[in-house]
């Protein structure tokens, strides 16, 4: 009876071990891959953030996950996921107007993407070219040049505009004083009568 109860636990442990082995093999493929200096200049931690290496059309591509910041027309602003879970500096990627990508296994036009969605991106290891995961294996990759990451800009505390002046308050104070003077003069006249 105890043997039957332990069987699911043993199967789960084996599945977990095999998935860890597969992940380790993928990471070792990334670690063995030699990224060009141009790619490393635009993506310094490419070897660490790489999830897998694939070959398409005779070219080697490293597979990455990226978070979408925003879409402007057919330009996507992406941040690549780092090994520690943080995201790298934003990079702009242009796509063709009718391009569709896979989001949660569904083909989605680029125009319908929303911020904070996670995309799969392929980066050529020999040139700084990036392609988004196509909808199907038969669809060709559309690699585009990777832009240099934008430097992080230190943000200062917001400053309110200095458009107001004390003239309004002075006018209100003057009007109040005139009103008090008028009321006092009216009260004095009543007392004099």
| Domain extents in the chain | 33-145
Q: Compute the average pLDDT of residues 92-98.
A: 82
138-171 residue pLDDT tens: 888 888 887 765 555 555 666 766 676 778 788 8
Q: Compute the average pLDDT of residues 62-85.
A: 87
Helix (H) or strand (E) holding 26: helix 2-32
pTM above 0.75, yes or no: no
Helix (H) or strand (E) holding 59: strand 59-72
Among 26-30, 41-45, 64-68, the range scoring the smallest mean pLDDT is 26-30
Could you give the CA distance from residue 46 to residue 31 in angstroms, rounded to a whole number?
A: 9
Q: What is the largest CA-CA distance in the chain?
A: 114
Could you give the CA distance from residue 109 to residue 95 in angstroms, rounded to a whole number?
A: 11
Confidence at residue 88, expressed as pLDDT on a 0 to 100 scale: 82
Q: Compute the average pLDDT of residues 174-186.
A: 88
């Amino acid at each position: 009876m105890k043997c039957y109860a332990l069987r699911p636990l043993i199967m789960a442990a084996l599945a977990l071990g095999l998935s860890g082995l597969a992940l380790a093999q993928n990471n070792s493929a990334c670690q063995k891959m030699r990224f060009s200096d141009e790619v490393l200049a635009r993506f310094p931690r490419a070897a660490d953030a790489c999830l897998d290496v694939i070959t398409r059309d005779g070219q080697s591509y490293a597979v990455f996950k990226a978070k979408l910041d925003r879409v402007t027309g057919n330009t996507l602003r992406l941040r690549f996921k780092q090994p520690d879970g943080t995201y790298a500096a934003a990079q702009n990627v242009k796509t063709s107007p009718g391009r569709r990508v896979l989001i949660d296994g569904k083909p989605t036009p680029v125009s319908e993407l929303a911020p904070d969605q996670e995309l799969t991106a392929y980066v050529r290891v020999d040139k700084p070219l990036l392609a988004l995961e196509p909808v199907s294996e038969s669809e060709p990759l559309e690699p585009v040049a990777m832009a240099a990451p934008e430097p992080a800009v230190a943000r200062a505390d917001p400053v309110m505009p200095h458009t107001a002046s004390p003239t309004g308050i002075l006018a209100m104070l003057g009007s109040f004083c005139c009103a008090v003077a008028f009321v006092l003069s009216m009260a004095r006249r009543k007392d004099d009568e």
